[in-house]
C-alpha cells in the first residue's frame, strides 16, 4: 500500500455542518481533519486492543470525558442540548 499524500471527502450537508461547527476552533480544515483522524484512530485502536470490537470494525462510541482546563472555571449549570446522532442511509 502506498502512502497517500492527500485525503479527500465529498462535502455533503452533514460534513458542511460539522465544519461550520468546528470553524469556531480557528483551526484550518487540514488541521481539523488531522485531529478528527487522530481521535477516531485512537478510539479504534483502544477498542480493538481491548477486544470491544473485532479489528477492522468501527466501534460505537457511547461516552467520553473532557480534560479539565488548567484554570478554574465556575461549574456549568442547566441543560446540555446535544444533537441526536443520525444513522447512515442504507
Q: Report residue 90's pLDDT band, with 50, 70 and 90 as the boundaries.
A: low
Would the CA dihedral through 35, 40, 46, 49 be positive or negative? negative
Pair 32, 21: CB distance under 8 Å: no
For the segment 34-71, what is each residue's pLDDT rounded down to a tens digit? Answer: 999 999 999 999 999 999 999 999 999 888 888 877 88
Domain residue ranges in the chain: 26-61
Pair 23, 29: CB distance under 8 Å: no
Percent of residues, the chain, with pLDDT higher than 90:
50
DSSP state of 71: S
Amino acid at each position: 500500500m502506498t502512502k497517500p499524500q492527500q485525503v479527500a471527502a465529498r462535502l455533503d450537508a452533514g460534513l458542511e455542518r460539522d465544519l461550520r461547527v468546528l470553524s469556531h476552533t480557528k483551526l484550518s480544515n487540514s488541521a481539523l481533519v488531522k485531529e478528527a483522524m487522530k481521535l477516531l484512530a485512537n478510539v479504534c485502536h483502544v477498542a480493538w486492543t481491548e477486544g470491544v470490537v473485532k479489528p477492522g470494525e468501527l466501534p460505537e462510541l457511547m461516552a467520553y470525558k473532557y480534560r479539565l482546563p488548567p484554570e478554574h472555571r465556575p461549574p456549568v449549570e442547566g441543560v446540555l442540548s446535544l444533537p441526536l446522532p443520525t444513522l447512515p442511509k442504507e
